[in-house]
C-alpha cells in the first residue's frame, strides 16, 4: 500500500513582550511538497500497475545509487552524482531487488515473476516462483493455484507465504513444495476486504485542520472499537455558525464529515456510555491570502 502525504511549511508568528503585545511575523518559508512511502520493506510489487507506479529513486549531489538484481549482480544507476536528481529503479525481471543509496540507506523489493511471464506452470517440471507472502493466496483466488500446485520460495530468507483456506503443504522434492487440500497441515485462513483509510500526520490530534470540503470521515464506536454490532453511540457536530447536528449510531464505522457551514471551528463530540471524545476540526480552505490577528 502506498500512501502519499503533503506537508506545507507555514508562516510562524511569535509574540514579543512589548507594550502593544503585537504579533510579529518572524519568517515565512517557501512552500515545499513532500512524499512519504509508508510501505514496509520488502515492498511487494504485484502487478504491472504497481511497477509503473513506483517512485523514482532520489539522490543528492555526490551520492551513488546501486541496484542489486535477483541474481546478485549489482549495477550503479548513478555514480557520484554531479547534481541532485532522481532515477527510475529499472526492475526488468522477477525476484528480489535491492536499491541502495551510498548516504541514505537501502530498500528491498519483491517483484512477482507473473509481471514478466516467468512465474512457472505450478508443476514439478515448471514450479511457480513465489516471491511474497500473499502471492500463493492471490493465485488461489485467481483460480491458478490449487491441490497439487508445486512452487518454490524465491523471496527473502524466511519467507512463509499465506496458504489458501483448508490447504496445507508438503515437500515435492529438493526445495520444492506442493499445496495439499485438507490433511493435518491445513491452515485456517481469514482475509479481510481491502480498505482505504486516511491518516492525518500534520498534528498529534485529536484536533485537526483541513483545507478542502470533502474526503473526510468521523469514526464512531459504541464500545471503544471492540466492534460490537449493537453498541450505541452519539455523534454530534457543532459548526462555527448555525445549529448542531446529532446522529444516533450503533456498532463501529465512520460517517462523512462535510463542513457545510463555511470556514471556522467545528466541534465534533462522540459519546458512548459515560465516555466522551471531543475534537476541534478547523476548516480553512486554501486561499491566496490568509491573515491571522491575535
- Say if pTM beats, i.e. exceeds, 0.85: no
pLDDT category at 153 given cuts 50, 70, 90 is very high
Share of the chain above pLDDT 70, in %: 74
CA count, 13 A, side-chain hemisphere, 226: 9
pLDDT at residue 223 tops 60: yes
Which residue, among 246, 247, 261, 253, has the nearest Cα to 213 in the 3D structure? 261
pLDDT at residue 274 tops 80: yes
**Distance between terminal CA atoms of the chain?**
42
Q: The dihedral of CA 269, 272, 273, 274: what is its sign?
A: negative
Distance CA 44, CA 31 (A): 32
DSSP secondary structure letter of residue 116: G
Q: Please tell me the predicted confidence (pLDDT) of residue 105.
A: 87
pLDDT at residue 19 tops 50: no
Distance CA 156, CA 97 (A): 10
> Mean pLDDT across the chain, nearest whole number?
82
Q: Which helix (H) or strand (E) holds 51?
A: helix 48-52
CA count, 13 A, side-chain hemisphere, 186: 11
C-alpha cell at 208: 485537526
pLDDT at residue 290 tops 60: no
Q: Assess contact for 78 and 32: CB atoms under 8 A.
A: no
Three-point CA angle 192, 194, 197, nearest 5°: 115
Amino acid at each position: 500500500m502506498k500512501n502519499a502525504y503533503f506537508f506545507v511549511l507555514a508562516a510562524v508568528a511569535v509574540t514579543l513582550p512589548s507594550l502593544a503585545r503585537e504579533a510579529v511575523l518572524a519568517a515565512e518559508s517557501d512552500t515545499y511538497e513532500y512524499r512519504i512511502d509508508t510501505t514496509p520493506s520488502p515492498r511487494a510489487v504485484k502487478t504491472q500497475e504497481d511497477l509503473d507506479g513506483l517512485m523514482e529513486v532520489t539522490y543528492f549531489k555526490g551520492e551513488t545509487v546501486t541496484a542489486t538484481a535477483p541474481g546478485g549482480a549489482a549495477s550503479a544507476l548513478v555514480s557520484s552524482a554531479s547534481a541532485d536528481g532522481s532515477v527510475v529503479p529499472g526492475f526488468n525481471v522477477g525476484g528480489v531487488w535491492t536499491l541502495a543509496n551510498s548516504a541514505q540507506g537501502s530498500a528491498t523489493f519483491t517483484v512477482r515473476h507473473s509481471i514478466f511471464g516467468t512465474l512457472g506452470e505450478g508443476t514439478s517440471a515448471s514450479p511457480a516462483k513465489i516471491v511474497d507472502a500473499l502471492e500463493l493466496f492471490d493465485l488461489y483466488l485467481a483460480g491458478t493455484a490449487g491441490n497439487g500446485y508445486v512452487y518454490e520460495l524465491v523471496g527473502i530468507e524466511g519467507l512463509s507465504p499465506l496458504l489458501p483456506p483448508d490447504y496445507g503443504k508438503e515437500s515435492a522434492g529438493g526445495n520444492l513444495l506442493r499445496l495439499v487440500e485438507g490433511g493435518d497441515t491445513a491452515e485456517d485462513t481469514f482475509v479481510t476486504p481491502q480498505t482505504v483509510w486516511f491518516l492525518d500526520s500534520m498534528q498529534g490530534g485529536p484536533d485537526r485542520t483541513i483545507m478542502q470540503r470533502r474526503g473526510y470521515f468521523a469514526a464512531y464506536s459504541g464500545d471503544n472499537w471492540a466492534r460490537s454490532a449493537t453498541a450505541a453511540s452519539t455523534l454530534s457536530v457543532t459548526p462555527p455558525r448555525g445549529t448542531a447536528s446529532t446522529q444516533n449510531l450503533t456498532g463501529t464505522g465512520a460517517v462523512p464529515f462535510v463542513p457545510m457551514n463555511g470556514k471556522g471551528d467545528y466541534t465534533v463530540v462522540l459519546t458512548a456510555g459515560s465516555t466522551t471524545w471531543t475534537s476541534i476540526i478547523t476548516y480553512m480552505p486554501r486561499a491566496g491570502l490568509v491573515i491571522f490577528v491575535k
